Structure 1
C-alpha cells in the first residue's frame, strides 16, 4: 500500500466520482510530479481501491487500465450486491474493461491491479483484442507480467476481439417504431455487444430521476462464467459518472426474441434489479437479426 506524498495529494485532487483520466490529464500529473506513467499508476491504485462496493467480502480491490489507442486511464473497482449471489459481482478488472467498452476504447495495453488477478479475471482478460500484448503491473512488486505469464494454459477458441469494435451486430428492434430515447440509447449498445460464443447480444438501458441515461452491453467470455451481464456493465457506466443506484427510475433490457433459442438475461437482470432498485419494473424489448 502506498502512503506517499504523491498518493495523498492525488486523493485530494481527484474526485471520488472520477473514474477515468484523459491522456492530457495523465501527462499533466506525470509532469507535475516528475514521475513515469507506470509510477503514476502505482500512486493511483490506493486512490481508486477505496471506492469498491464490497458489501460481502470487505476486500477492496482497485485496478487501472491504459487505453491502447487513447492512452486514457480507466479505473476499476469490485462491486458486490447485498442479498445477491456472488456470481452477480463485478471484479475490478471487469469494471475497467466495461468502462473502456462504454467509452469506445479500442484495446488496452496495460492493466495494474492492487491484488493478483484471480483466474476468473485472467480468463476474461484473454478475450481482449491483442491480449498477448497486454502488460500486467503489480504495484506491490513493481513488476510487469504478460497475460500469458499469469494464464499459461488459457481456455481459448481463437476469437478474442473484445474492444476491437471490428464488427457490429446486425440487429433490429422487433417493434415497428419508437421515439423512446432510452430504447435508442440501449440499442446502440446492443449493436456493440460482444457475444461470439452464444450469439446472444443484449444490452440494458438505465434512466435516472434526472432524465440522464446510461447503457451497457453484454460482454462474453469463452469460459461463460466470467462473462459480464449487460446490467452490470450499465451499472459501471452509471457509477463511473458519479451516480447512485437510488437515482434509478427506469430500466430496460434488449435481447433476441425467444425463437432464436439463445440464453436470456432476463431472470438474472430481474433478480439484481430487485436488490438495487426494488420499485423499478424491468421492461423488455425484443431484437431480431437482420438478414444479409
Structure 2
C-alpha cells in the first residue's frame, strides 16, 4: 500500500479544492454532500464531471501487487432530494492468495458506503463498463433497479448511462432463490457476543450482526486491532451466485486501506472472526490472510 500515491494525486487539484479533498483522509474515503457541492462550485463542474475528475484520486487508493493496474470507482448514497454522500473505492489484490480474493473497485466503493451506514445507492460511476463479476455483485443491492450506472472513459467526453437490466439481462438474483432481503437493506440480527469483556470480540460480533448471508446463514464479522489502538472491522456480503460475494476479511482489508490514506498502514496485532454455525465457514481462508499479514486469528462460533 502506498499512501504517497494518494497525496500525490491530491497535489494535482487546485489548492482550495485539495483542502476539501484532504478530508477524505479523516472520513474513510467519503465526501459529504456539502463538500461535493462546494467542490462543484470551486471547480465549475457538473456533478458527473466532478466525480470523473476524482477517478485518479480513487485509483490511487489501489493495492495491486499482482496486476499493477489501478482502478477507481465512486458511488453516491441515495437521498430522496438533493446530493448524497460520495464514497471512493479501488481494487485491492492480496499477494499469496487466489485471484478469487481480489476486490474489484466497484465492490470496494459499495463496501465503503455500506460500512458507513448507506442502505441504498443512487448511482455508481466508473471509467469502463463493469465486468460480469461486478454486475452480478451489484445485482444483489437494495434498490439496484433504480440505481444509475455511469460509464465515463477518461480519454473521452462521452458518458453512457445504464441500469442493471441493460448490463445484466435475464439476470439470476435473490428472487430466484426466494429471498426477499437485499444487500444493504436495513437489518441487524440479534445474538450475544461470545466474550462480552473483549472489545475486539464485541466489534467482530457487531459486524457479524450486520452481515448479509441469506443463502448460507453464515453471518460473519471480523475485527482487526492495529498497533495504534484502532479497530477496523468488516462484514460478510453474500451473493445469489455465490462467487461474487465478499468475505468479512476482504471488507476489513478495504476498510483498513481507507484508514491509512495519509500514512503508512499500521501493523495488525490481533484479529477476531465471529461467525454463526452454518454449512460453510470462512475460518480457513481468513486465517490464511491474517497469517500472511503477520497476525494470528482468534475464532468464535455463535
Q: What are the ranges of 5 or more consecutive residues in structure 1 without an aligned counterpart?
A: 1-5, 288-292
Please give the alpha-carbon distance, in whole angstroms, between the structure 2 residues aligned to 1:77 and 1:153. Answer: 28
| Aligned ranges 1:218-257 → 2 under 5 Å | 218-242=236-260, 246-257=266-277
Please give the alpha-carbon distance, in whole angstroms, between the structure 2 residues aligned to 1:114 and 1:49. Answer: 11
Report the counterpart of residue 153 of structure 1 in structure 2.
Answer: 170
Distance change in 2, residues 1:139/1:8 (3 Å): farther
CA contact (8 A) 1:156 1:222 kept: yes
Report the counterpart of residue 61 of structure 2 in structure 1.
Answer: 51
Please give the alpha-carbon distance, in whole angstroms, between the structure 1 residues aligned to 2:265 and 2:214. Answer: 30
Please give the alpha-carbon distance, in whole angstroms, between the structure 1 residues aligned to 2:259 and 2:282. Answer: 24
Please give the alpha-carbon distance, in whole angstroms, between the structure 1 residues aligned to 2:61 and 2:114. Answer: 20
Please give the alpha-carbon distance, in whole angstroms, between the structure 2 residues aligned to 1:126 and 1:116. Answer: 15
Please give the alpha-carbon distance, in whole angstroms, between the structure 2 residues aligned to 1:138 and 1:274. Answer: 38
Report the counterpart of residue 180 of structure 1 in structure 2.
Answer: 198
Report the counterpart of residue 3 of structure 1 in structure 2.
Answer: none
Q: Deviations over 1:135-157 (max 9, x none)?
A: 11112131211111111121113
Please give the alpha-carbon distance, in whole angstroms, between the structure 1 residues aligned to 2:287 and 2:135. Answer: 28
CA contact (8 A) 2:227 2:266 kept: no
| Aligned ranges 1:273-288 → 2 under 5 Å | 273-275=290-292, 277-278=293-294, 280-287=295-302
Do structure 1's residue 262 and structure 2's residue 275 form an aligned pair? Answer: no
CA contact (8 A) 1:91 1:121 kept: yes
> How many residues are treated as equivalent by the alignment?
274
| Aligned ranges 1:1-292 → 2 under 5 Å | 8-9=12-13, 12-13=18-19, 14-15=21-22, 17=25, 19-69=29-79, 71-140=84-153, 141-158=158-175, 159=180, 161-165=182-186, 167-173=187-193, 175=194, 177-242=195-260, 246-257=266-277, 261-275=278-292, 277-278=293-294, 280-287=295-302
Q: What are the ranges of 5 or more consecutive residues in structure 2 without an aligned counterpart?
A: 1-9
Please give the alpha-carbon distance, in whole angstroms, between the structure 1 residues aligned to 2:89 and 2:164. Answer: 18
Please give the alpha-carbon distance, in whole angstroms, between the structure 2 residues aligned to 1:25 and 1:7. Answer: 18
| TM-score normalised to structure 2 length | 0.85
Q: Deviations over 1:65-119 (max 9, x none)?
A: 0001371111010000112110111111111111111111121110011222110
Please give the alpha-carbon distance, in whole angstroms, between the structure 1 residues aligned to 2:67 and 2:91. Answer: 10
**Tell me, what secondary structure is at the counterpart of 1:196?**
coil
Q: CA deviation at 1:12?
A: 4.7
Q: Which of 220-229 and 63-72 deviates more?
A: 63-72
Distance change in 2, residues 1:160/1:78 (3 Å): farther
Q: CA deviation at 1:130?
A: 1.0
